[in-house]
Amino acid sequence: MLRLRARIPVAGAVPGCAGAALGARPWRGRHCATLAVLLVAPTLPLPAAATDPPAQSSSPSAPVSAPAPDTAAPPAPPKPVDSVDLPSWLRLDALPFIPIPEVSTAPHEGVTVGVFPVMLSSNGDGQINQILAPDILHSQYFGWGARWRTFRNPSDDEKWSLVAGAKQSVEREFDAEYDVGLRRDTDWSWIYHAMYDRSGTGRFYGFGNNTTAADRTTFIDTQIRAEVTAARNFTHAVQLAYELRADTVEIASSVLNGLPSIESRFPLLTGVGEVTEVQQRLVLTYDTRDSVVLPHSGQRLAAFAGLSARALGGSVRYSFLGIDGSEYRPVNRDLTLVGHLAARYMPSYLDAPFWATSQIGGDRSIVAEGQPLRGYGAGRWWDRNSFSASIEARQWVRSFHFFSSDLKLELAPFVDTGKVFSTMDESPLSHLHVAGGMGFRVVVSPFVVGYLDVGIGKEKLAFFSGIDYPF
């Protein structure tokens, strides 16, 4: 699906931890769900074999004599089994990277397999300040491909990232971003962002809350974007951000066999073909979380409004407004209950491209844009307005030291609900879609959260993974 993101700078962000900024882009392998399973095991010491004393004769006829004095040097102790020298390429704990197999199982994406070596670097305080994650993969639809990813935090007040990749056919991507003022302890925070993305697995089912899997169509979407965000920090908790975005989006015929292309079923749909837009938005936030990356208490509340108009130089016209909020309640040291709620309304929408309308589906909450429903693929339902509510319980399970990093495993059962609707006066609480499941989270404290969320709705099992919490 189309990836329309907003980024609002906040304190404490880390390279690649896209949720550190309100509405920031999550790091997921190619902006889609990637089931990344860490199939590694530390080299564990084995117990040395027990040594029995020399056997003594029990025959009564055998004379028992005193042992002869031992004049020889004592024998060298046996070499422990766990210290056997192995080639470095056979010792996973000696590798300079974490080898992670990659299997894409997200709805809509086909089967993609690959591997990427993740290389972590830390500062003098032992905190992760750089992630390098190149990969080589094979897509069922688009052949072999490769990507380079760099996420870097020069300090706790700035970060930058660079992602670039391509496959044999159709899909290409480039994404660069620089954020400064993350701590919010100065008057202004800034974000600069540029991207090019071409995806061949877009899906559209039509408008409405009752579309079925049989309504599915597919398309290729290409986006070129440049944007800048200026945020005024009134206090550490209160911020008003202004974003200016210039976009060119092209929706073209699909190349996937077996699925109808979008223009064959929706020939008059606004947004098919090439569209240019210049969008402005304001986001007012109130954030009292104890951490923007690993929150255990506090609130994050946002109110937003935006518009795209021909007078600004674009070819479309629409407006939107809404709210987005999360509450974090610690039950005890190891358990945090998290609730999330979002609503998006479009006062003017008749000239809006379909990809700019409200949507639910997928695994991420993006402020002023898409909302999660983790039993379905991204953008499963579209319409003028949307409502979403989620709750999950983040429970610490155990800690372990691995690849020179201190890791913590969390389990997070969750329930997501949501709907889309076409009128401003319709109740957002009726006819909700529901999805539930379990989240598996690995925390590299204090900055990095890797996740695998497994959800189920009424269609089929869905897997999502990446970096950062969903909200």
Query: Domain spans of the chain?
Result: 18-41+95-467
Whether pLDDT at 69 is above 60: no
pLDDT for position 7: 38
Q: What pLDDT does residue 3 have?
A: 40
Which pLDDT score, from 0 to 100, does residue 68 have?
47
The reported pLDDT for the residue numbered 102 is 73
Q: Select, from the ranges 254-258, 355-359, 377-381, the one with the highest average predicted confidence (pLDDT).
A: 355-359
Report which of residues 61 and 311 the model is more confident about: 311
Q: Which residues pair with 421 in a beta bridge?
A: 385
Q: Flag whether pLDDT at 295 surpasses 80.
A: yes
Pick the CATH number of 18-41+95-467 from 3.40.710.10, 2.40.160.50, 3.60.70.12, 3.30.420.40: 2.40.160.50
pTM of the entire predicted model: 0.81
Q: Mean pLDDT score of the chain, rounded to an integer?
A: 81
Q: How far is CA 139 from CA 123, 167, 214, 255, 446, in A?
A: 36, 8, 24, 14, 34
**Average pLDDT in the 263-267 region?**
92
What is the C-alpha separation between 202 and 217, in angstroms, rounded?
8
| Residues above pLDDT 70, as percent of the chain | 77
What is the model's pLDDT at position 420?
A: 98
Mean pLDDT of 435-458: 86
On the question of pLDDT at 6 being above 70, the answer is no
Instruction: For residues 186 and 183, give the distance between their C-alpha atoms in angstroms, rounded to a whole number.
Output: 8
How many of the other CB atoms lie within 10 Å of CB of 95? 15
pLDDT at 26 over 50: no
* CA separation for the pair 416, 295 (Å, rounded): 19
Mean pLDDT throughout 314-330? Answer: 97
The per-residue pLDDT for range 82-138, each reduced to its tens digit, is 445 555 555 555 667 777 777 666 666 778 888 878 888 877 776 778 889 899 999
Mean pLDDT along residues 371-385: 95
Percentage of the chain beyond pLDDT 90 is 58
pLDDT at position 80 over 80: no
